[in-house]
Every structure is written in structure tokens, then in C-alpha cells.
Amino acid sequence: MVYKKIFLIFVFLIFLINFVSAHCPLCTIGAGVAAGAAVYLGVSKIIVALFIGAFAVSIGWWFGNIIKKRYIPFQKTSLIVGSFLLTVIPLMPLFNVIGPLYLPFIGEYGKTYAINYALIGSIFGGLVVTSTPSISQRITKLRKGKMVPFQGIILTFILLLIIALIIQFTIV
């Protein structure tokens, strides 16, 4: 009961926000909610890691946009990579999914390596968030400057959903 009251207060406070300078906070909140919902619904750990990676890169990008003055070279990139590493690495024990990676072109019979599917999933999530702005710009250019409201957010979630469905029905 206490959690419901805290959640309702949090939702109410979100609606009091007057100004947001970019869509990144919405992406960040959306990716975090999606990851939490996935855990709650019992979705594969690889898919949860996909959303965690997207969440981590989105937070880094958001902080990179907040800091207007450049203090170090590659500041925004450093913040994005740092956010990813500082979010994903501590959570790896919770989302650890070790599986085989067979490479048939190495050696006479091929080689099999043990890889962490969750780490690969989180990297894919980060790549989706990183590539979405350029994809959105291309779509806008193809549509002769017309944008769908919240086009970047919609595109990010559609791409994450497609990758999640592919993972759920092929790997898991």
C-alpha cells in the first residue's frame, strides 16, 4: 500500500514538470520502466539487459546534453560510455546469461566460446539508442522535413521491441 502511494506521488510530480529541453529524459524513463516491467513479467534476462543498456546510454546522453561547457575532449562520449559501464557492469551478476558462441570458420572443426548474452544484449540496447537519432533524421529527410510527434522515442521503442522479440523467439 505504501508503494502505491509513493508511485502515485511520483507520477503526480512528473506531471508538474513545465519544461524539458530534449526527448532524452522521456527515453530514459521509458527504458527504465520497460526494464522493470520485463523483470516483473518474467521476460528473458537477455531482453532485460537490452533495455538496461538502452537505459544506461540514454542517461549518459542526457547528462552529456545538460553540461553545456566542454571541460575535457570527448566529454559527451566519455559520459555516455561511463554511464553505460557504471550501470551495466554492476548489474551483470543479476543478468548473467552465459551461452555458447560457435565460430565454424576458426580451425578445422571450429571453436566454441562461452559469452555473456546479457552483456551482448546490453551493448545492442546501447547501439539502438545511439543510432536512433540518425535514423530519425533520415526519416524526416525522406518525409521532406515532416516529423511525427515524439518520432525519436517511438522509433527507439519500436527498434528495441523488434530486437527483443527476435531474441525472445530465437535465442531463448
Write a three-state SS string for 27-83: HHHHHHHHHHHHHHHCCCHHHHHHHHHHHHHHHHHHHHHHCCCCCCCCHHHHHHHHH
Q: What is the mean pLDDT of the chain?
A: 81
What range defines the domain where residue 141 resides? 26-170
pLDDT single digits (tens) 144-154: 888 888 888 88
Asked whether 60 and 134 are in contact (CB, 8 A), the reply is no
Domain contains 9: no
Pairing between β-strand 98-103 and β-strand 111-116 as defined by DSSP bridges: antiparallel
Domain contains 8: no
pTM of the model: 0.72
Total domain count for the chain?
Answer: 1
Domain contains 15: no
Residue ranges of the chain with per-residue pLDDT less than 70: 1-32, 34-36, 172
pLDDT single digits (tens) 111-121: 898 999 889 99
